[in-house]
Structure 1
Amino acid sequence: MTETRPRIEYYFSFISLWSYIGSRVFQDLVRRHDAEVIFKPINLLQVFAAGGGKPVKERPPQRQAYRLVEMQRWRDIRGIPLLLHPKFYPADPSLGHRMLLAAIADGADVSTFVHAGLKAVWADELNIADPDTLVRLADQNGLNGRALLERSDEAALHEQEQALTREAIDRQLFGAPYYFYRDEPFWGQDRLDMLDNTIISGRPAIVMEPISQ
């Protein structure tokens, strides 16, 4: 049987805490398996609303407090810089998402730009909604930031961003990150070991079925 390159669909947002926490580990997994990644930036707040979730500040105080404990644990486990209260969270990531989609359409390698966008929010105290910041991040990661910014307001990119969010909701996502491998969903960066084992084992996929109301 001919082996095929693993293909992973990656749903995330530049403002997703857990996408950032798992970003380096995910990059390592991709390298080890020579996987193809389909980057799918989404409107996380819309996904929360559709799945019954709430933005951080609207969650019960006890859940907010425990989230801070978990952030410190995972910061140590992953060995990454992480701000508990980043200055520019939650900034609107839509412009950055559209610049990313433009770069993907050009066939560019966007993996380091994606990590830089996540790190900008959660470690570097940068405003991911600021055009100059995005241009600089793109330039630093091998892209033409100014050209991507000029294209970012194209109607097709706005529609693509919304289409990806609708797709995420239709696939029953309720947060980020989500990784799909052979249509099997893995929610959260703490499921990356499971994704890794699934790729290695070659076991049949476990596909999520809709639940009737």
Structure 2
Amino acid sequence: MARIDYYFATVSPYTYIAGTRPEEIAARHGAEIAYKPLDIMALFARTGGTPPKDRHPSRQEYRLQELRRQAAKNGMPINLHPAHWPTNPAPSSYAFIAAQKAGGGDLGALVAAFTRACWAEERNIADEGVIRECLAAAGFAPDLANAGMLEAAETYSRNLEEAVEAGVFGAPFYIVGDERFWGQDRLADLDAHLASLG
């Protein structure tokens, strides 16, 4: 069975636009997904990236145009200037890691719930109430919002180290064996690669 290492950020607009397509692709090819939430700003700092607010104005403007186009292409609503972005991604990421350990729900739906809350619903995913609602909507116990915080923090930190070592520099990022795919606009390439594996 092929394995997709899926590096993502709960505050990433491109992770939001990916929606549940990674899970659909994995299901189509009988692949498993190893979800690895990480701190995208720390990743930028470690791999030569620049946070959006520090980019040249032309890059900032293009980013917004591209987000609008990609969201429309995939039929997804998006607020290009969400009220709660940037926000602290750690609480939602910790909750995701706790849910991953606990099981019983849909992890793909949880990624979608967190990112949709930020980029389409004007909700603060650093807020415990919002986190609990997202967990419940994806079939997980809401109390996981406060479960295993120390272990989750360690996993979150380890995901960043693994990402840097694996050559990850953005989100979403998908790795299958030695093949790397950056961005939701590379999901068709990921799909084709998995198909080639038979």
Q: Same fold, TM exceeding 0.5? A: yes
In the alignment, structure 2 segments of 5+ residues that lack a partner are none
Corresponding pairs, count? 197
Residues 99-119 of structure 1: per-residue CA shift (max 9 Å, x gap): 111111123332211110111
Letter in 2 for 1:87: A
Query: Offset at 1:35?
Result: 2.3
In structure 2, distance between residues paired with 1:162 and 1:116: 22
Native 8 Å contact 1:15 1:118 kept in 2: yes
Alignment check: 8 A CA contact 2:20 2:108 kept:
no
Cα distance in 2 for partners of 1:25, 1:150 equals 28
Partner residue in 1 for 2:130: 133
What amino acid is aligned across from residue 162 of structure 1 in structure 2?
A: S
Displacement, 1:144?
A: 0.5
2:66 equivalent to 1:85: no
Task: Choose which of 3, 10, 29 in structure 2 pairs with 1:7.
Answer: 3
Equivalent residue number for residue 211 of structure 1: none
Asked whether the equivalents of residues 99 and 151 of structure 1 are also in contact (C-alpha less than 8 Å), the reply is yes
| Amino acid in structure 1 at the alignment position of 2:28 | R
Residues 53-202 of structure 1: pairs in structure 2 closer than 5 A: 53-108=49-104, 109-146=106-143, 148-153=144-149, 155-202=150-197
Give the secondary structure class of the aligned counterpart of 1:11.
Answer: strand
Give the Cα separation in 1 of the matches to 2:28 and 2:168.
Answer: 26
Output the amino acid matched with 2:181.
F
Percent identity for Structure 1 against Structure 2: 37
Q: Which amino acid aligns with 2:117?
A: A
Q: Secondary structure at the match of 2:20?
A: helix
Structure 1, residues 109-133: CA drift from partner, whole Å, max 9, x if none? 3221111011111111110100111
Q: How far apart in 2 are the matches of 1:9 and 1:85?
A: 30
Structure 1 spans left out of the alignment, 5+ residues: 204-213
**Superposition TM-score, scaled by structure 1 size:** 0.88
Contact 1:98–1:157 at 8 Å: present in 2 too? Answer: yes
1:29 and 2:48 correspond: no
Inter-partner Cα distance in structure 2 for 1:91 and 1:162: 18
Which of the two has higher C-alpha Rg? 1
2:42 paired residue number? 46
* CA RMSD, Structure 1 to Structure 2 (Å): 1.4
